[in-house]
Amino acid sequence: MKRILIIEDDAEIAGIERDYLELAGYETDITGDGAEGMRLALTGDYALILLDVMLPGVDGFEICRRIRGKVDVPIIIVSARRSDIDKIRGLGFGADVYVEKPFSPGVLVARVKSQIAQYERLKEPRRDDTIRIGDIALDPSRHVVTVRGREKCLPNKEFKLLEFLMINADHVFSREDLYTRIWGMDPIGNTATVPVHINRIREAVEEDPANPKHIVNIWGVGYKFKP
């Protein structure tokens, strides 16, 4: 049975999340302390992490930042903080989805299922041949990107996004198109995550991320991979 880690200091909200997730067939661990949540995230075997932002000890943004490079599981931030800056920070630190409080428990469970399913699909062995364009080679079977001879291990969403753009090189896709194809959900209100992930891909594969030659922005239209 898959286990979900709930890092939430509001006992009532944590209880609601637990009850709905357990009804959906998941096991749950709950902690209301940031430092303890980070320890559990790094040492436990979890299918997904639900993460509040305003926590005692260590806040959710810092937890997300610290664990993202070490733990490759979906992270859903569930927070009462609604500003675009907070959303961009959370997504920039590696969260896959940012959910505002108050939320629909049923919708939250649906998002949990969707994120877990996507991560599992992305980790399945792939038969596709390595995609090579210029100085970038993407190997789907090993989930590895090689840039100028050096291996880069991208998180699932960045890998999938780069793979999609490379397969469709020279085709332009809007934020909405990319969100729908990679995240598999309605893009309304969520497209800010796309440029955040694009920027992280640029940091990994471009010689000069500030002046990218491959992952380019077509002003007013969207993004494309330029061979």
What digits encode the pLDDT tens for the residues 17-68?
Answer: 999 999 999 999 999 999 999 999 998 889 999 999 999 989 999 999 999 8
The CATH number of the structural domain formed by 131-225 is 1.10.10.10
Return the C-alpha torsion angle 56, 60, 63, 65, nearest 10. -150
Q: What is the reported pLDDT for 181?
A: 87
**pLDDT of the residue at 201:** 95
φ, ψ dihedrals at 28, nearest 5°: -135, 145
What integer pLDDT is reported at residue 190 of this predicted model? 65
Q: Quick check: 163 and 147 in contact, CB under 8 A?
A: no
Structure tokens that stand for 134 in this block: 């210029």
* Cβ neighbours for 54, distance < 8 A, ≥ 6 positions apart: 9, 60, 79, 80, 81
CB atoms within 10 A of CB 150: 8
Q: Could you tell me the residue ranges of all domains in the chain?
A: 3-123, 131-225
Q: Report how far apart, in Å, the C-alpha atoms of 42 and of each of 39, 58, 153, 159, 198 are.
A: 5, 14, 18, 22, 26
Which residue numbers in the chain have pLDDT < 70? 124-128, 186-190
Token digits for 41? 């995230």
Structural contact between residues 159 and 145, judged by C-beta atoms closer than 8 angstroms: yes
pLDDT value of position 21? 97
Name which of 34, 110, 46, 100 is nearest 75 in CA terms: 46
pLDDT computed for residue 210 by the predictor: 92
What's the pLDDT at 27? 96
Residue 93 CA to residue 90 CA, distance in Å, equals: 5
Q: Assess contact for 53 and 60: CB atoms under 8 A.
A: yes
One fold for 3-123 and 131-225: no
pLDDT given at position 123: 72
Give the pLDDT confidence score for residue 129 in this predicted structure. 74
**Among the listed residues 196, 44, 189, the one whose alpha carbon sits nearest the alpha carbon of residue 111:** 189
Distance CA 17, CA 30 (A): 10
Distance CA 201, CA 203 (A): 5
Please tell me whether the overall predicted TM-score, pTM, comes out greater than 0.75 for this model. no
Domain 3-123 has CATH 3.30.70.20: no
Distance CA 192, CA 210 (A): 19
Distance CA 178, CA 161 (A): 8
Q: What's the pLDDT score for residue 68? A: 85
Cα separation, 40 vs 31, in Å, equals: 9
